[in-house]
Amino acid sequence: MLILVGSGLRESQLTREAEEAIKGADIVIVETYTMPSSKWLPTAVRKLNSNVREASRSELEELSSNIVELAFKLKVVLVVPGDPLIATTHSSLVVEGLKRGVEVKVVSGISGPCSVESLLGLHFYKFGRTVTVPGPWRGVGAEEAALGLLGNLCHDLHTLLLLDVSPEGLSLSPSRAVKELKESLRRLIGTKLDELMNMMVLLVSVGENTIVKHFTLGNADSIPDVDVGSLVVPSRLHVSEREFLRYAYSVPEDIMMSHNKLLQGFDACSAYSEALRVMYSSSA
């Protein structure tokens, strides 16, 4: 049997169902590369089961067939931070197991993206496409992320920008992510980027302690130095969203109103069309 267990974002979020699955396993495999802030996880799992092996992303992908093979004879538990099926590596493992006739069970956990969106108090149904800002180890720019942002702004939707994680488990820093995003936006929409420099961006970290900070796209020097985080670019904020940000995280009303006014006057759909034209012409 193969059981995928989501551990949540910290030890206190391990559910009773997750703990029972770990305790009853013949072998437990722990991976932490999808969330660098989850270094606590192996220690927490060893409190529940002594037969624990840690696996990197490459090891997990290379061992997927071995894991499924083991699951024919043993109860194998794969413990991952957050929710187990957010990452495609884990969902492909489920598919491989089911294809080969292995019994598979999933124990859900609290995910990082869901926590980021809910803790900000922004309307959940106003979030558009989630994008990832790639790290320099990918050898590509952030054009896809920039395109996703512009498309969401065109439809008046919030954007969650995840920060890439290297094969060694290092997260792209928020300041580097903003730099990469601005450079890609400049390549796609040229001088139109100047109109967005005062657009508000939120930095959110949901590890042991929740951290929410605000800054503008053009003021990257003010970005706090956090180990792991995500960025959120809000669309025009509803009054209830502004109230939540003001009272929960001390975001000044004048900054949010300025953000709304900026987006009201910015032709996001025209910028999105221009970005698409540049993307397709450069790849032709």
- Annotated binding-site ranges: 9, 83, 86, 111-112, 163
Contact 120, 150 (CB under 8 A): no
Whether residue 79 contacts residue 41, with contact meaning beta carbons closer than 8 Å, is answered with yes
Q: For residue 91, what are its two tokens?
A: 């969902």
Query: 């003021």: which residue's tokens?
Result: 219
- Which residues belong to the annotated binding site for S-adenosyl-L-methionine? 9, 83, 86, 111-112, 163
Tokens standing for 192? 């139109």
3-state percent helix, strand, coil for the chain, nearest multiple of 5 = 50, 20, 35
Pairwise CA distance, residues 75 & 78, whole Å = 10
CA distances from 49 to 23, 29, 75, 177 (A): 5, 11, 13, 38
Q: Give 163's strand partners.
A: 133
DSSP 10: S
d(CA 55, CA 60): 6
Q: Show Cβ contacts of residue 140 under 8 Å, excluding neighbours closer than 6 positions.
A: 134
Closest to 6 (Cα-Cα) out of 35, 49, 47, 36: 35
Strands 52-54 and 27-30: parallel
Residue 260 corresponds to which tokens in the numbers above?
Answer: 């709304």
> Cα(162)–Cα(112) distance, rounded to whole angstroms?
10
